[in-house]
Structure 1
């Protein structure tokens, strides 16, 4: 059995949702697709797919294998693309979707440098916090911030995204510094509508309910939330690429004793047999530009503010 051929057949079935569509995509017969899947399951001694008359569904084992299979096939394709496109020029139009606040604050300079390096590249940048359909909207690559979830898209982590729990110094002075989640829940949370507070704060105790948290303001834009926090309206949990300058100026003060789950900046693109050279070069450029520690996190940590503890 050709393991890689069977893996590609399996991957195509999952991506297309049916044996027939997968066969059309790979330009082979549905019977041969079925044979490859059967051989793969026999080799692994596990069922990967549950078949119905209309659609196929991944088993738990199939979901795990699909994620690993995607990465292996992607690595093979990348290796072959590196050789095939070694001498290719990076040209054409690159359509990029990016979260609004991140795009406004931190993407103009790298795109400028990218186009200086590849002067024949044209870039169309779309700022939106909604999830876009890459194929339907003709997007080459989407930058997204969060935790990597199972998807039919290929995702590559560009750089880590740290979050800070912070408020204006006068807010902490007036209300005191909370020492645990119970005390924190009694303060005013300036909520970002696209995030789940429970998924951000680590070591969430069973005794604390999300309904216990007070909040009189929410927005789908991080810049607005940071500005509200600077005005002393409450505390916020926002990325350091938005809060960093205010923290450095002392307009916001972060509490370090609340552990917060880090996120990541990911580049998402449609799975293709041969990744376009312009997309590959752009993703590689951003990875190099931001690095393992992005520039907005290299200014050093601020000391925790020492304020009176008002009974918390």
Structure 2
């Protein structure tokens, strides 16, 4: 009897270990998939349109089945708009801007969260309140100020901050530092105080506590902020449009204007250019995906 019942018991074990699928969980997954597709739909439609000739979509519509797919529009978009030059301009603005914003914000966040300085909470509130100010409100004052700030010729051909990368970088860093301070300060507060106390006992100074102890522990938060900051600075067009008059210094977002004709615009060609412009941000996210997700989920498992 033991030999006959053993297989039945063994076969019943896997079924008993299976968790029942709850209708609420299925509904949650269906909702998340729907939201994901809604966010991806414009990008997928742009990729689909960029692979088809404009004559075909004009005759049969953008949601029709394809009859001819090719990458000709991508080659044409890259060459006709001169994207290589604008890519370099965007990197000149975004990379130093991200590094400066994170570096300066980490200084302030460390002072507010770890040094227990007087007025630290007020300082944090001021940095946070700066993000609530509409950026467009101070366009005119900044325009006047940058025209009056002198720079040597080797830094700016206009001899002022206006019409230079410095103006765009300064504005990006100024507006993004507040958000970075808010995020980093709140993250640094979650780090155990015993680590810094042990470092002080061993004779570590303030710089050692900041550079060699606190910053390495903040890598997930810095990676998440770096990804967001690069995306925002790379995609921005307002400040470059206002503070740069030389067309050769404009960022990559301006290259799309070169694909628009005076009397006719090939929207499939424009879609191919938009996909090319979006590739660097997608690449940065893929490279920092693990750190980005870790930075977003920090503290989610704490009671």
Q: TM-score range by the shorter chain?
A: under 0.3
- Whose Rg is larger? 2
More helix as a share of residues = 2
TM-score by length of structure 1 reads 0.26
TM-score by length of 2: 0.27
Q: Which has the higher contact order (CA 8 A, sep 6+)?
A: 2
